[in-house]
Structure 1
Amino acid sequence: MSTSALIQLTKVQKIFLTEDMETHALSDIDFHVDRGEFVSITGPSGCGKSTLMSILGTLDTATSGRYVLNGKEVGALDERERARVRSEQIGFVFQAFNLIGDLSIAENIEVPLTYRADVDKNERRKMAMEALDRVGMTHRAKHYPAQLSGGQQQRVAVARALVGRPSILLADEPTGNLDSKNGESVMQLLKELHLAGSTLCMVTHDPRYTEWADRQVFMFDGRIVSGSVDASTPLDSPAMVASDPA
């Protein structure tokens, strides 16, 4: 295990069972994210990216293998314990902004903190405004989601992910619902957060955005594909031979 790893997966498998079928979504995944690192994960549809992200975010559990987060094994925790880990250590940014329409922007940012018994109402508002300041959106605190553009809503979603001061930020297709201009703006924001010390792991299908990361990870058929391969290389080419990474 890397001594600087914030996240470490070892021989992780995920198998989905139905009455007549067994689907191996992830096979023998060895993967790590170091503290302060920005990692991108890409690959074709159905390769296991979203399944991997769900396990990293403790939204799902592996069928087998180990998941260590911040020095603690979390793969075998029950749902209540996993929810606490999510609340305290993980920030999420999704393709869909998932903002609540009848709450103001500041109130949306506060939502994750309502599950934290150690944060009172006044502290929630203070932390929400600090998070909005980090993404340049304090002037929109009293507005509602419908009054914001797509790019602005995603900035608010990033602020909501940051508000609990998580150990890692997980971004699942954060530019998927945005045009190219707003997509570039959100990527610039994520890069600025990374340069300020945040640890990020991002799933994207867009090869333009993989290069924003320190390290690019490629997936194919539920496996991590070894080697440094140009983003333009077809993922089903002979160069993309599945194996465990070094």
Structure 2
Amino acid sequence: MTNLNIRNAVVTGAASGIGAAIATQLAEAGAAVALVARRQDRLDDLAGKLGDRTFGVGIDVTQQESVDDGVAKIHDRLDTVDLVVNAAGVMLAAPIADGRLDEWTRMIDTNVTGVLRLIHAFTPDLIKAAGVGRTADLVNISSIGAHAIFPGYAVYGATKAALTQLSAALRADLSPYDVRVTNVEPGLTDTELASHLDDTGQDLIASMNEQIGPLHAEDIADVVTFAVSRRRELNLRQIIALPTRQA
């Protein structure tokens, strides 16, 4: 394992669920962590529990101005960032036949364009850090939905497939600079995402939880912490994390 005490991390979606769990584990392992999400109050509460090297920055990843302002604040505190985890995401049941353009747009803007905004903002940092011999990581939290077919979730699945493909392409772009890219695809996981669904969707998730038994957000955090703590010459590029009973 490499020492996380010298890492400067940014974790999006850190107000709850997988993002909060990842941020917590990285901070407990010694990293300085910028917590990113829209809900500043939740970020401040979590930062207060994790110590002086952790701080919250309210950013709406769907708005470029918000990203620009937040990135400037992060650079003021951390200088060069060497670890970026894109965990912000939205899952909505938006069947194509229903034509819910607003919900399609919300998922695309968060799950794809929002990720791209953060990648664009911090790629120079990652290249700079790797160039002076530091370990540099870009971690994207995708979904098993990038491969598995779930009726009614075509747009969500498409956004996660895009993120998985983006991660593979970015590895080709960034590996010559010694920047590692890791794509993590969780299966059924007990997070706040399900609360965004309508009653039918929530009933479906509840049934799956009962039959399969979901992972916990901390399970995905374990995977991410393990991946980024390997020696810099080892890149765990693609990780699929499923409950044992999920086919």
Normalising by structure 1, what TM-score?
Answer: 0.33
Normalising by structure 2, what TM-score?
Answer: 0.33
Q: Which of the pair has the greater relative contact order for Cα pairs under 8 Å at 6+ separation?
A: 1
Please identify which structure carries the higher strand content: 1
Please identify which structure carries the higher helix content: 2
Report which of the two structures shows the higher radius of gyration computed on alpha carbons.
Answer: 1
